[in-house]
Amino acid sequence: MDCKNILITGGAGFVGSNLAIKFKNKYPQVRVIVFDNLKRRGSELNIPRLKKAGVDFVHGDVRSNEDLEGLSEIDIIIECSAEPSVMAGVDDSPKYLINTNLLGTVNCLELARKRNSQFIFLSTSRVYPISLLEDLHFHEDETRFSLTEVQEMSGVSPQGVSEDFPLTGYRTLYGATKLSSELLIGEYAYTYKLPTIINRCGVITGPWQMGKVDQGFFVLWVASHLFGKDLSYIGYGGVGKQVRDFMHIDDLFEAIDLQIVSFNKFSGEVFNLGGGASNTVSLLELTAACQQITGKKISINSISETRLGDIRWFVTDCRKFNELTGWIPKKGVTETVNDIYDWLRTNRELVAPIFG
């Protein structure tokens, strides 16, 4: 790796902290800096891990230009900062969501412009409109909803949703802030010749994720089995047949590492990154995996009503990135659940206030 300094915004969060530690372990000669406001509960637990790995921590907020201005000699910015909840702004003010996810991106782009930095943006599969995803044709199997073979919509196939899927329609406030950020990144790239990469990520999971029902459900499911907490199947009849693909944080690191090492090869592009068609799970199937690995069975309630922002099915078509690199996700359901379960058991006293 040629760069000397990597800045990861939102770097005390699940994705940012894991990427920071993995980059520092693989490239000890590189200075890795994480920047975070520590707003999300549990992010403070990552500070000792970061310091132990030799990662520099800066307490600051992407909403503040003044906080970012003190950062100098930055070769690469990995923009992970976000209010990540798809339900953000639904029952309360969207002000924090918009200021963090949109204004924060602008501030980070300005830093990249001033420092002449390369820029990697972690976007989301939630940029794809809910109405169009819900209009796809499905059939209901014993444990999941499945896409039918014949679809009228472009940009979707048995391999999942590709980068060519239409973008016109409602997508939640969260998804709108991310898509707006993508548009601004494109303008900065064109106007200022800024080298940029956009990654639309599906569900990312793994150890050290402080999971919630609306963001981080994979870890929440495992933790609830360990700590004996009730869960709920919400929406679509309340039977748990909604499907997502998922990507272990280790697999995401490998993908971004490939991008950084050969940045020019990927600059200016948008990629869907996720578990793909081979790494999918329904909530019902995830429950079964958690029961098998933890040896515990918990109460799961049924809420039939579908919430604003819910989707029945999403699978990421990663073939564009795969064809350029050969990258494929390596960790499936069993290995991922085992990794999360081992982490929770090892750090039970530490994470109990979050999950227990």
Q: What is the pLDDT of residues 313-353, one digit of tens each?
A: 999 999 999 999 999 999 999 999 999 999 999 999 999 99
Residue 149: count other Cβ atoms within 10 Å of its Cβ.
Answer: 9
Give the CATH number of the domain where residue 58 resides: 3.40.50.720
- pTM for this entry: 0.97
Looking at residue 178, what is its pLDDT? 98
Q: What is the pLDDT of residues 130-145, one digit of tens each?
A: 999 999 999 999 999 9
Rounded average pLDDT over 214-233: 95
Residues 230 and 233: their CA atoms lie apart, in Å, by: 10
Question: What is the predicted pLDDT for the residue at 106?
Answer: 98
Domain presence at residue 349? no
Q: Going by C-beta distance under 8 Å and a sequence separation of 6 or more, which residues neighbour residue 290?
A: 221, 222, 225, 296, 337
pLDDT of residue 89: 84
pLDDT of residue 36: 98
* C-alpha closest to that of 153 among 141, 168, 140, 139: 168
Number of domains in the chain: 1
Mean predicted confidence (pLDDT) in 227-242 = 97
Asked whether residue 209 is domain-assigned, the answer is no
341 inside domain: no
Of the pLDDT bands very low, low, confident and very high (cuts 50, 70, 90), residue 115 is very high
Please report the pLDDT score of residue 3 as a whole number: 85
Domain-located, residue 104: yes
Give 44-64 pLDDT, tens digit per residue.
Answer: 999 999 999 999 999 999 999
Q: For residue 95, what are the domain limits? A: 1-128+171-201
Select from 213, 166, 183 the least CA-distant residue to 310. Answer: 213
Q: What is the signed CA dihedral for 280, 283, 287, 292, rounded to 10 degrees?
A: -10
What integer pLDDT is reported at residue 1 of this predicted model?
75
How sure is the predictor about 101, in pLDDT bands with cuts at 50, 70 and 90?
very high
Q: Considering the chain, what is the average pLDDT of its residues?
A: 96
Backbone angles phi, psi at 119, to 5 degrees: -135, 120
**Domain presence at residue 101:** yes
What is the pLDDT averaged over residues 99-110? 97
Residue 72 lies in a domain: yes
Gyration radius from the chain CA atoms: 20
Let me know if residue 67 belongs to a domain: yes
Q: Please tell me the predicted confidence (pLDDT) of residue 254.
A: 98
Number of H helices, E strands in the chain: 14, 17
Chain segment 157-213, per-residue pLDDT in tens: 999 999 999 999 999 999 999 999 999 999 999 999 999 999 999 999 999 999 888
What's the pLDDT band for 87 if we cut at 50, 70, 90?
Answer: confident
What is the model's pLDDT at position 88?
87
Q: What is the pLDDT, as a whole number, of residue 128?
A: 98
Evaluate whether residue 158 is within a structural domain. no
Residue 242: burial class (beta carbons within 10 Å; 0-12, 13-18, 19+): buried
DSSP of 143-207: S-EEE-S--SSTTEETTEE-TTS---S--HHHHHHHHHHHHHHHHHHHHH---EEEEEE-EEE-T
Question: Tens digit of pLDDT for each residue in 246-286?
Answer: 999 999 999 999 999 999 999 999 999 999 999 999 999 99
Q: Which helix (H) or strand (E) holds 218?
A: helix 217-227
pLDDT, residue 315, reads 98
For residue 121, pLDDT over 80 is answered with yes
